[in-house]
Amino acid sequence: MKKIVSFFGEDSELFRELNKKAEEYAGSLGVEYKWALQNPYSREDVIRELRQADAGIIDVEPYGEDIFSQVKDSAKLLVRVGVGFDKVDLKAASKNGIAIARTTGANTTAVAEMALTLMLSCRRRIAKAQTRTQSGVWVKDVGNEIIGATVGIVGFGAIGRRLAKLLSGFDCRILAYDPFPNEAALKELGAESVSLDELFRESDCISIHVPYTEETHHMVNKERLEMMKPTAVIVNTARGNIIDEDALYEVLKAGRIAGAGIDVFAQEPLPTSSPLLTLDNAVLTPHVSSQTVESLWNIYKMAIDISADFFAGKDSRHILNPDYKEHA
């Protein structure tokens, strides 16, 4: 019987229930499943577990040659939860004959809903209102509605498109920037394809949904932030280093833009010394946009399905490095 070992999840009742369900589901497919809780993460434990498994379900920690070279004779597939894979060395994986997959689509709705939530929170200045109310200050800081606003979506993939669909009920004008525009999707969702600079100049709300690469590192820099309207807000549920956090702090501190909703950071956990924590016009959350009860189960189920298909010799659109076969 093939075996999957999962390193995804925290020591909580929710994750214990999810992993029990995952074990039962994998068993129904004729696959053994083990949850190897990492609390804290241990590279040595991961290597030991993968040496005894045929596939692994991995989280956000770095995976490179130092791990692949030691597990290549056993674990032939690693499934990254979520869509980001910037910390996985695909070239090293291929060199060692290891396939890398991701659970694309499993958390699309969760992330899109969170982006909308942060957008609404920033527009209505919820963070400032809560802080003042908790401190006994009864002051009404009036914000803006999102109805009829112009929303710019940077990255019009699955999550960006899902956000556009959610926004359709708010009668928003949708601007979309994507280096590879999907004309059919743009037309279906009534979105306008524009340049990145035009999007930053015209939007009332901006939501980031691009992967983190060398090209997108600090894509949102001081120059682009200063293009924004003073009443505009920006939301990031993608990856922290896409936005220059120092520049973001400066424009927020100066009131140059109205607010920001940030779920991802250059360094995670966010250091307690971060100046972003001193702002009352920033809504900050601990990288939870992809995590709802529903999306977490979608992730587990999809990761198991991808693994079962892999064991059965089926090709998968979720595999990121098909050239692994050259070294398998």
| Selected catalytic residue, list 145, 223, 268, 294 | 268
**CA proximity to 118, closest of 271, 324, 258:** 258
Q: Is 201 a catalytic residue?
A: no
160 is written with which tokens?
Answer: 């960006």
Under a CB-based contact definition with an 8 Å cutoff, are residues 237 and 209 in contact?
yes
Q: Is 268 a catalytic residue?
A: yes
For residue 259, give the H/E element and its range. Answer: strand 259-262
For residue 151, report the phi and psi dihedrals to the nearest 5 degrees: -115, 125
158 is written with which tokens?
Answer: 């699955």
Q: Amino acid identity of 74?
A: S
Q: Is 256 a catalytic residue?
A: no
| Selected catalytic residue, list 43, 51, 256, 287 | 287
Radius of gyration of the chain (CA): 21
| Selected catalytic residue, list 239, 250, 256, 294 | 239
58 is written with which tokens?
Answer: 């991995």
DSSP secondary structure letter of residue 131: H
List, in order, residues 6 or more apart from 86 with CB less than 8 Å away. 211, 212, 213, 239
List, in order, residues 6 or more apart from 8 with CB less than 8 Å away. 57, 58, 59, 81, 299, 300, 303
* Residues designated catalytic: 239, 268, 287
